[in-house]
């Protein structure tokens, strides 16, 4: 019988405990064990970005992590972005307005890549947005409307439209390292 381990974690503010085989990928764990199917899987080798989620506020490929690695950690998935059933997250809203999605398969991963990006770079240029997007493949849109959506969201943020929700999901301790501390590097998650 294969080893099984208990994973305790918080996803979108909710606590879960599950027994899993250590080989279960975080993407599969979220989708199939927790039923959070908004996280999509497009390649399982780290390239397409569809599976991107936030672990401790940082965008990572959930297909390149094992569920057991997030034991004790905080995870945010696309289901955790909107504040409630009526309102969307400002970035989601911007995607809707800008027609930033077609089939929508890549969208969750793109949203979760862009949330921390806009946090760290609230007023990005088009070039910076495109570079930040380059780790997420979209086969439908040609990216243009996605870029526009991110710009729209940034403009909204600047105009004071930034909602606390946006900060909530992304505002994990931003570990800017100084030069004088012993563990300037980020604590591995």
Partner 1 sequence: MTTRYFGEPIRRNEDPRLLRGEALFVDDVQLPGMLHVAFVRSDFAHGRVNSIDVSGALDVAGVVAAYTAGDLGDLWRPGPLLVPPPPTIERLTFNERTQVPLAKDKVRHVGEPLAVVLAESRYAAEDGVGRIFADIEPIDAVVDLESALAPGAPLVHDDLGTNLMAHVIQEKGDYAAVRDSADLLIARRLHYDRGTAAAMENRGVVADWEPRGRLLRVWDTTQAPIPLRNGLAAMFDLGQSEVQVIAPFIGGGFGPKIMMFYPEEVIVTWLALKLARPVKWIEDRRENFFATTQERGQIHDAEFAFDKDGRIVGVHDVFMHDAGAYAPYPLTVPINSSCTLLGPYRVLNYYTEFKAAFTNKPIVTPYRGAGRQHGVFVMERMLDLAARELQLDPVEIRRRNFLVPEEFPHHHEIIFQDFKPLIYDSGDYEPALDKAVEMIGYREFRAARAAARDGDGDGDEKRAADDPSADGRLRGIGVVAYVEGTGIGPYEGARVSIEPSGRVNLATGIGTQGQGHQTSFAQIVADQLGVHPSDVRVVTGDTREFGWGTGTFASRGAVVAGNACQTAAEAVRAKVLELAAEELEVAQDDLVLEGGKVFAKGAPQISIELGELAVKANPLRGAVRHGTEPGLEATSYFGPESGTTASGVHAMIVAVDPETFMVEIERYVVVHDCGRVINPLILEGQIVGGVAQGIGNAFYEQLVFDDQGQLLCPSFMDYLLPTATDVPRIETAHHETPSPLNPLGIKGAGEAGAIPVAALFAQALEDALGLEGFELLEIPLSPNRLFELVTAHRGGGQAGDGSARENHPANGDTPVPEKYPPNGDTP
Partner 2 sequence: MKPAPFEYKAPATTDEAVDLLAEHGWDAKLLAGGQSLVPAMNFRLAQPAVLLDLNRIDELAYIRTVDSAEETGSTGSNVAEGDGGGGAVGLRIGAMTRQAALERSAAIAAHSPLLAAALPYIGHPQIRNRGTIGGSIAHADPAAELPAIVVALDAELTIRNSEGERRVAAAEFFQGLFSTALGPNDLLIEVDIPALPAGTGWSFQEVARRHGDYALVGVAATVRLAGDVCEAARMVFLSVGGGPVIASNAEASLVGQPLDERRIGEAARLAASEDIDPVNDIHASVAYRRHLAEVLARRALHEAGARARSGAGA
Ligand X SMILES: Cc1cc2nc3c(=O)[nH]c(=O)nc-3n(C[C@H](O)[C@H](O)[C@H](O)COP(=O)(O)OP(=O)(O)OC[C@H]3O[C@@H](n4cnc5c(N)ncnc54)[C@H](O)[C@@H]3O)c2cc1C
Residue 81: which of ligand X, partner 2, partner 1, none does it interact with, CB under 5 to 8 A by kind?
partner 1
Residue 181: which of partner 2, ligand X, ligand FES, none does it interact with, CB under 5 to 8 A by kind?
partner 2
Minimum Å gap between C-beta 76 and partner 1 is 11
Residue 25: which of partner 2, ligand FES, ligand X, none does it interact with, CB under 5 to 8 A by kind?
partner 2
Collect contacts of 160-168 with beta carbons under 8 A, ≥24 apart.
161/90, 162/90, 163/83, 163/89, 163/90, 165/81, 165/82, 165/83, 165/89, 165/90, 166/89, 166/90, 166/91, 166/115, 166/118, 166/119, 167/119
Strand partners, 18: 7
What is the pairing mode between strands 58-61 and 52-55? antiparallel
Q: Is 103 in the site for ligand X (CB under 6 A)?
A: no
List binders of partner 1 among 115-154 (CB under 8 A). Answer: 126, 129-131, 133-147
Binding stretches for partner 2 (CB under 8 A): 2-3, 5, 21-23, 25, 28, 44-46, 49, 52, 58-61, 63-66, 68-69, 113, 117, 131-132, 134-135, 175-189
């Amino acid at each position: 019988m294969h080893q099984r381990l208990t994973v305790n974690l918080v996803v979108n503010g909710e606590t879960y405990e599950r027994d899993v085989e250590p080989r279960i990928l975080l993407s599969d764990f979220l989708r199939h064990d927790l039923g959070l199917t908004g996280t999509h899987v497009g390649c399982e080798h780290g390239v397409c970005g569809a599976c991107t989620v936030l672990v401790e506020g940082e965008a990572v490929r959930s297909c390149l992590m094992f569920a057991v690695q997030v034991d004790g950690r905080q995870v945010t998935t696309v289901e955790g972005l909107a504040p409630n059933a009526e309102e969307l997250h400002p970035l989601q809203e911007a995607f809707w307005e800008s027609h930033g999605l077609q089939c929508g398969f890549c969208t969750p991963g793109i949203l979760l890549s862009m949330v921390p990006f806009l946090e760290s770079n609230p007023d990005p240029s088009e070039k910076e947005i495109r570079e930040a997007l380059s780790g997420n493949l979209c086969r439908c849109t040609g990216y243009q409307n996605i870029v526009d959506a991110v710009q729209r969201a940034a403009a909204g943020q600047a105009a004071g439209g930034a909602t606390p929700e946006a900060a909530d999901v992304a505002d994990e301790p931003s570990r800017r390292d100084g030069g004088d501390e012993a563990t300037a590097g980020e604590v591995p998650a």
